[in-house]
Amino acid sequence: MKPLKTAETQLREQLEKDGWEITHKGWPDFACIRNDQMMFVEVKSYRGEMLKKEQHYILTHLAKLGLNCYKWTPQGGFTRITPATPHIEVEKRKRGGKRLTQKEKFNRLPIETQEQIKRDEAQGKVWYF
């Protein structure tokens, strides 16, 4: 589920406006440098979206090296990743399994994310899954 303007585009524009140079786009999504500061950012489309196992592994290990690591969402902004940040497993659908309806997908989201989506939709913001 993503807002119409991708989360990565939103963050890139915000960071560049704030003087950050985006030197890498891939994995993590961004490696950013400003003066003598550096940070690594993994972008997620909505607040409750979890890091994948590999993303969590890389970011927590970069954090162990003393590097600034974050998860960023349009609704929640930056969330710091530390070496102690726990990884939360997400249930995966088996390949070839039943496709979920929009309502089923929505109902599987964390309550805080559902509430945020309802507030956004009340303001005319469009979400899609």
Domain annotation for the chain: domains and CATH numbers = 2-81 (3.40.1350.10)
Q: What is the pTM of this model?
A: 0.59
Q: Which two tokens stand for residue 27?
A: 């994995």
Residue-by-residue DSSP string for 22-47: EEEESSSSEEEEETTEEEEEEE-SST
Mean of the per-residue pLDDT values of the chain: 82
pLDDT digits (tens, 9 = 90+) for 87-124: 876 665 556 666 767 777 778 888 888 888 888 788 87
- Find where tokens 């290990």 sit: 61
pLDDT digits (tens, 9 = 90+) for 44-88: 987 778 888 888 989 999 999 999 999 998 888 899 999 998 887
